[in-house]
């Protein structure tokens, strides 16, 4: 996998192979990145916008990628940052406090025509929405994607210890929320 990525990066950095390599990169990572962004933004339309922004950013900055991390963590990092930037722009536009976007996301969740889960899953999503932004991202990456803490550490620029603690606290809070809402 890493060898394939190295070859892909090398092709992305060369002018004559860039277009084709970029098409391969999109095909390879579009679904994983989509679901990662979707779990942060919840709404399909917003996710589509941010996914496009993510790949445009990748296209523009692939020349600056120093390969200190893997391609996969670098892509996740860009996608995460783009999602947070999108939420911050929503906060600014709606004159919301910087830490409060949960109402906007709750509306996204309840009005989403593509939500296919049952009642319990809706309750879980609502519980996740109650978490602080970063804790929410940590929980999603660990609980749904089962990502390694080491990879998460590179994506979120946070120590493994802090991530473990964050996930533990998030799990406890969600458990409490589910118990209370029964």
Partner 1 sequence: MNKLKKIAPELSKIKKEQPFGVPDKYFDDFSARLHHRLETEKQALPQPKNPFIRYLKPALGLAASFTLIFMLVYWPVKTFLPDYLAKTNTFIESTNEDDAFRTFIEKLDENSFFALLQEPHLNEETINGDFNDEELMSYLSSNISEYEIYLQSEN
- Catalog residues that contact partner 1 under the rule CB under 8 A: 23, 26-27, 30-31, 34-35, 38-39, 42, 44, 48, 51-52, 55-56, 59, 112, 114-118, 120-125, 143-144, 168, 171-172, 174-175, 178-179, 182
* Residue whose CB is less far from partner 1, 100 or 176: 176
Q: How far is the CB of 22 from partner 1 (least distance, A)?
A: 8
C-alpha span between 60 and 125 (Å, rounded): 34
Q: How far is the CB of 172 from partner 1 (least distance, A)?
A: 7
* Residue whose CB is less far from partner 1, 51 or 163: 51
C-alpha span between 90 and 101 (Å, rounded): 8
Q: How far is the CB of 171 from partner 1 (least distance, A)?
A: 5
* Residue whose CB is less far from partner 1, 26 or 162: 26
* CB atoms near residue 107 (< 10 Å): 12
C-alpha span between 132 and 100 (Å, rounded): 9
* Residue whose CB is less far from partner 1, 57 or 154: 57
Listing DSSP states for 30-59 in one string gives HHHHHHHHHHHH--HHHHHHHHHHHHHHHH
* Residue whose CB is less far from partner 1, 85 or 121: 121
* Residue whose CB is less far from partner 1, 20 or 98: 20
How far from each other are the two terminal CA atoms of the chain, in whole angstroms? Answer: 44
Asked if 27 and 6 touch (Cβ cutoff 8 Å), the reply is no
Q: How far is the CB of 98 from partner 1 (least distance, A)?
A: 26
C-alpha span between 8 and 146 (Å, rounded): 25
Q: How far is the CB of 56 from partner 1 (least distance, A)?
A: 6
Asked if 100 and 91 touch (Cβ cutoff 8 Å), the reply is yes
Q: How far is the CB of 117 from partner 1 (least distance, A)?
A: 3
């Amino acid at each position: 996998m890493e060898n394939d990525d190295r070859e892909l990066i090398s092709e992305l950095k060369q002018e004559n192979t860039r277009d084709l390599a970029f098409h391969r990169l999109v095909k390879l990572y579009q679904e994983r990145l989509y679901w990662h962004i979707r779990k942060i933004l919840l709404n399909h339309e917003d996710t589509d916008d941010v996914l496009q922004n993510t790949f445009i950013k990748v296209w523009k900055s692939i020349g600056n990628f120093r390969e200190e991390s893997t391609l996969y963590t670098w892509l996740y990092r860009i996608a995460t940052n783009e999602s947070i930037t999108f939420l911050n722009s929503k906060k600014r536009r709606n004159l919301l406090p910087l830490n409060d976007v949960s109402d906007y996301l709750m509306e996204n969740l309840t009005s989403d025509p593509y939500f296919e889960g049952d009642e319990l899953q809706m309750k879980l999503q609502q519980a996740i929405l109650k978490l602080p932004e970063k804790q929410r991202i940590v929980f999603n990456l660990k609980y749904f994607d089962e990502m390694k803490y080491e990879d998460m550490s590179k994506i979120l620029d946070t120590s493994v210890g802090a991530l473990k603690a964050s996930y533990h606290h998030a799990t406890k809070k969600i458990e409490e929320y589910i118990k209370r809402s029964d």
